[in-house]
Structure 1
Amino acid sequence: MSDWEEKLPGVVEILTANAARHDREASLPDEGIQAIHEAGLLTATVHERHGGPGAGLADTVTILRSLGRGDPSAALVTAMTMFAHALQGRTPTWPDDVYAEALRADRPVLINELQVEPDLGTPVRGGLPATVAVETGGGFELSGHKIYCTGAELLGWMVVTARVGDTEEVRAFLVRGDAPGVTVKATWDHLGLRGSRSDDVTFDRVPAVLTAPAVRDPLTQAWNSLGLAALYLGVADAARDWLVTFLAERTPAALGAPLATLPRFQTAVGEIDASLGTSWDLLWSLAERTDAGDDAAAARAPAAKLIATRAAIGAVEQAVALVGNNGLTRRNPLERHYRDVLCARVHTPQNDAIVSAAGRVAFAGLLP
């Protein structure tokens, strides 16, 4: 058993104990992130050539599923950092000295890509960012506005997409989270993942470091798709566990026995377990095959995300329907799990893009 495997259950306990409070306060789970850091999970995907353990995608989905069970907001912040380290291991773009500095820190160094803008929306739908980096005598100065910046106030490094000067060239720039001219605006007021603090960030002539030109990396989509799907399966796992405990303990006077003794509740829980279990098997299998270099498995990752996140949402919806008002009252965690799991729909690639791409492949060569 690896070191992180031994420490992971304890980290999940810390996340679980504080998740409700951070949801109510819409505050970042700082003690959870510290625990994740101390367990070596934030840097689990740092490549071996940089002194890290070099965890692959299969290990990553396992970690994110467990963290999602405890607190999906902390899990999402962690996921962004793990994905960044994994990408740096596959296709390095950071200057060596900057990346080495990020790894030397003895505190949690969170990393996230900031791409979405108020007018642009998500860049995968097309368009040029309004954020601009202007070359100066000693490097670049970056100005602009990004939205939905997960973990913004605690980010050590921001990977910001911007146009280069007055050209249409778009590149990624590294910006320190505490650099002069960086302002985090507390705009996050979301239904779910409230503790992720995905606030706005504005930049006013901020010093920025140009990264190397990005090489198209087909594995990036696989990591994002399978990693985030695993996170939301973790949310559904937590909802399922609460449901099972509730049904085993709830004993209506008219029945004289726990609700769990009724066939209809047993059947419903069986359906949930079958759906979540097979979804996890799919994610794990594709992650393991992707680690082994199976390009076909990596290509199936978006479709697996679609299936697994639908299963996660469906399972929590079914749990809420089974217990009625108890599922929507704030004193029980099920309503929080429901709000959190709905956020699975917003991550790239989104469902319409996934099924449209699959449909185009199906008709390739058959239409004029």
Structure 2
Amino acid sequence: MAQTDSSADWTGKAERIAAIAAEQAAVHDADDSFVAEGFAALDEAGFFSALVPVELGGGGARVGEICDALRIIGGACGSTALAASMHSHVVAVAAWRWKNQGAPTDGLLKRVAAERLKLVSSGGSDWLTSAGTLEKVEGGFRLTARKAFTSGSPVGDLLATSAVYDDPDEGPVVLHFPAPLKGEGVSIASTWQVMGMRGTGSDDVVFDGLFIPDGAILGRRPQGEWHMLFHIISMIAFALIYSAYLGVAEGARDRSLAMVRKRPDNPQLAQLAGEMENCLLAARLAHRRMVELAETGRPGPETTSEAMQCRTLVADAVIAAVTKAMEVAGGASFYRKIGLERAFREIQAARFHPLQEKPQLDLAGRVALGWGIDG
């Protein structure tokens, strides 16, 4: 029987992957190209099956171990870490559902391990309302949709996505399923020309009548309402996603300190460095709680609210930490070759994953007040 990956093993693997990803990070940032070298190194290390349970042929790694790996990689190349996190959270959620709910996700997980599949997510652009339509046909559905923010799509095999089916009895319902990213009825639109995280390959995926068999449907829920599936996603996914941003902030911190350590004693510089350290510690503490929830939490509104609070706290803190890293380094941070300018652009993406701050505050307030969360 395969053995569970040890944390020390994944730390070492992540450091080797980070070194490879770092070599071309600036090139991919400059020309909007996908981080192919980093993904090849991840694949060689067995990263894409790491979170698959041992019983299903995977590595059996804990979420926390992979969070640490993503954090290390993020310090070298944010795009590699962020794109990899999107695969990881789909696998982690599928594994949790199989272990704790007996959900029929074992077939997908076995394929990930056996076929070395790379999964892509559209959850950030779909969220509760979803997007795209499903038309019922014999044996399944026809999918028509355009899915944005599909990180890893240049090399992805399956898109974990959803779309709306107008059920004649129930009305609009959202169906969840994996959709192939190669073949007739699927195309990739090269739309990913953005401020930061330019190497993630987060292009639009266009489906034009793609057939989705009935057996591929893995979940069904009312449109626009919180459902247990999304409480599970909220509990698990964002610890992995925000590991990438924590890594970017830690990398910026290390670069800035390396630049100024030999400067003469300066109280103002020391205070700026201290402010940066406080921001980074706040991010680490909030992220640690996200990992705890992902590994031991019970999904539901209270857990979702806490996980989303942590998401906001981490986002605010890592953005502040990278801003302070630029102040510590001074005017030199404005030069692209230093890498801090890229980190500053990359870290801005931490603002935009669900739930963004205002919806998160609304959710936290509703949970605290005992009000309904679907209002």
Please confirm whether the aligned pair reaches a TM-score higher than 0.5, indicating the same fold.
yes
CA RMSD of aligned residues (A): 2.4
Aligned to 1:255: none
Using the size of structure 1 for normalisation, the TM-score is 0.86
C-alpha deviation, 1:94, in angstroms: 5.5
SS at match of 2:206: strand
CA distance in 2, matches of 1:76, 1:52: 21
Q: Which amino acid aligns with 2:249?
A: A
Aligned to 2:277: 273
With over 3 angstroms needed to count, the CA separation of the structure-2 counterparts of 1:312 and 1:245, relative to structure 1, is same
With over 3 angstroms needed to count, the CA separation of the structure-2 counterparts of 1:51 and 1:340, relative to structure 1, is same
Matches within 5 A, 1:161-172: 161-164=162-165, 168-172=172-176
SS at match of 1:204: strand
With over 3 angstroms needed to count, the CA separation of the structure-2 counterparts of 1:137 and 1:44, relative to structure 1, is same
CA distance in 1, matches of 2:84, 2:165: 29
C-alpha deviation, 1:99, in angstroms: 4.3
C-alpha deviation, 1:290, in angstroms: 4.5
Aligned to 1:76: 82
Say if 2:289 is the partner of 1:282: no
From 112, 115, 118, give the equivalent of 1:105: 115
With over 3 angstroms needed to count, the CA separation of the structure-2 counterparts of 1:306 and 1:47, relative to structure 1, is same
1:23-82 CA distances to partner (integer Å, 9 max, x unpaired)?
A: 111111111011112222222211233122332332232122112112111111111111
Matches within 5 A, 1:44-63: 44-63=50-69
CA distance in 1, matches of 2:64, 2:274: 26
C-alpha deviation, 1:199, in angstroms: 0.9
SS at match of 1:196: coil
Aligned to 2:266: 262
CA distance in 1, matches of 2:63, 2:305: 14
From 185, 197, 208, give the equivalent of 2:201: 197
**Across the two proteins, how many residue pairs are aligned to each other?**
347
1:202-221 CA distances to partner (integer Å, 9 max, x unpaired)?
A: 11121324323257143321
Aligned to 1:114: 122
67-76 vs 86-95, which deviates more? 86-95
Aligned to 2:157: 156
CA distance in 2, matches of 1:289, 1:165: 35
Contact 2:14–2:69 (Cα < 8 Å) also in 1: yes
With over 3 angstroms needed to count, the CA separation of the structure-2 counterparts of 1:287 and 1:97, relative to structure 1, is closer
With over 3 angstroms needed to count, the CA separation of the structure-2 counterparts of 1:94 and 1:329, relative to structure 1, is farther
Q: Which amino acid aligns with 2:325?
A: A
C-alpha deviation, 1:244, in angstroms: 0.5
Contact 2:191–2:204 (Cα < 8 Å) also in 1: yes
With over 3 angstroms needed to count, the CA separation of the structure-2 counterparts of 1:298 and 1:45, relative to structure 1, is farther
With over 3 angstroms needed to count, the CA separation of the structure-2 counterparts of 1:288 and 1:4, relative to structure 1, is same
1:116-151 CA distances to partner (integer Å, 9 max, x unpaired)?
A: 6xxxx6443x4x63x222333343322221222212
With over 3 angstroms needed to count, the CA separation of the structure-2 counterparts of 1:317 and 1:242, relative to structure 1, is same
CA distance in 1, matches of 2:249, 2:358: 22
From 250, 255, 268, give the equivalent of 1:237: 250
Say if 2:260 is the partner of 1:247: yes
Contact 2:151–2:202 (Cα < 8 Å) also in 1: yes
CA distance in 2, matches of 1:294, 1:168: 28
Aligned to 1:252: none
Contact 1:95–1:211 (Cα < 8 Å) also in 2: no
Q: Which amino acid aligns with 1:219?
A: I
1:161-196 CA distances to partner (integer Å, 9 max, x unpaired)?
A: 112366512102322111212110101110010001
14-23 vs 140-149, which deviates more? 140-149
Say if 2:233 is the partner of 1:220: yes
Structure 2: where are the runs of 5+ without partners?
1-5, 221-226
Q: Which amino acid aligns with 2:159?
A: M
C-alpha deviation, 1:334, in angstroms: 0.5
Identity among equivalent pairs (%) = 26
Aligned to 2:322: 316
31-40 vs 353-362, which deviates more? 353-362
Say if 2:45 is the partner of 1:33: no
Q: Which amino acid aligns with 1:245?
A: A
C-alpha deviation, 1:111, in angstroms: 1.0
From 352, 358, 361, give the equivalent of 2:358: 352
CA distance in 1, matches of 2:283, 2:123: 29
CA distance in 2, matches of 1:246, 1:67: 21
C-alpha deviation, 1:224, in angstroms: 2.4
1:213-254 CA distances to partner (integer Å, 9 max, x unpaired)?
A: 2571433212223222222111111111110111125xxxxx
Structure 1: where are the runs of 5+ without partners?
250-257
CA distance in 2, matches of 1:142, 1:277: 45
CA distance in 2, matches of 1:99, 1:227: 18
With over 3 angstroms needed to count, the CA separation of the structure-2 counterparts of 1:222 and 1:96, relative to structure 1, is closer
With over 3 angstroms needed to count, the CA separation of the structure-2 counterparts of 1:96 and 1:314, relative to structure 1, is closer
